[in-house]
Amino acid sequence: MNKILKKCLTALRVVRGNSLAEFATVAALMATLAATAAPKLSELAETAKAEKSVNEMDKILSQARNFYSKTADKEGRGRFPGQEKFNQPVGSYGTPNMSETSALAAQTQLTNDLENFKSYKSGLGAKWRSVFGVSNATAPRPVGSFVVDDDVVSCTNCPGTQVGHDEWLGLFGDNTLFSTFQDGHFIYAVIPGGGSGDLSYSPVIFIADLENPSDYNAVLEP
């Protein structure tokens, strides 16, 4: 019996738990690692959101290209969603039936504005139109932004009769694409085309994410 007790006491002396000092060291190390990793994880999350935004804008432009091709075959001149006719603008860049020189100037103005369009709160948003609608239940316009919906403008012999966001939704089978950014929302503007024959020029469409249009934008010129 005495031998058994001695063996138990010896085992208790050898097997021991971590000291308080060791626990504190491990806890401090874990806190340091967490503090170091947090910015990296945040950066990765933002990168993933940016990639998602770019991919969705590519899809929007792909549908815009298809729409342009179909309307070109059917109507003789291609147009983009929201355009009543190829020579009509969407948004506040350009005017109906403008000259090519004026269209190029409008495109330059839009490009210059994009450099300063860094927040959804910018008043420049008023010059753009929502792709899927400002009140879309799936991806509503951020509160405090100035983007508005496209409307239908009456014009002579204009084949387009739908507002822009309805045409976009139709292209996507009523499925809304949305930005994963907190203040994201897809917007667009179209510089009108014009001319005829060898002197004709195509409309140009710009797509952007309202989170930061300066950084997240794309353009299609057929």
Cα dist. 101→51, 85, 127, 163 in Å? 35, 19, 20, 27
The pLDDT of residue 57: 97
**Which structural domain range is residue 181 located in?**
30-220
Q: Which residue has the higher pLDDT, 19 or 113?
A: 113
* Tokens 């804008």 belong to residue: 57
pLDDT over 90 at 117, yes or no: yes
Domain count, the chain: 1
Residue 206 lies in a domain: yes
The pLDDT of residue 27: 58
Question: What pLDDT band is residue 5 in, cutting at 50, 70 and 90?
Answer: very low
Residue 145 lies in a domain: yes
Residue 20 lies in a domain: no
Region 205-219: mean pLDDT is 97
Query: How far is residue 212's CA from residue 184's CA, in Å, rounded to a whole number?
Result: 8
Query: How far is residue 91's CA from residue 81's CA, in Å, rounded to a whole number?
Result: 12
pLDDT over 80 at 43, yes or no: no
Residue 202 lies in a domain: yes
Residue 18 lies in a domain: no
Residue 194 lies in a domain: yes
> What tens digit of pLDDT does each residue of 70-94 get?
999 999 999 999 999 999 999 999 9
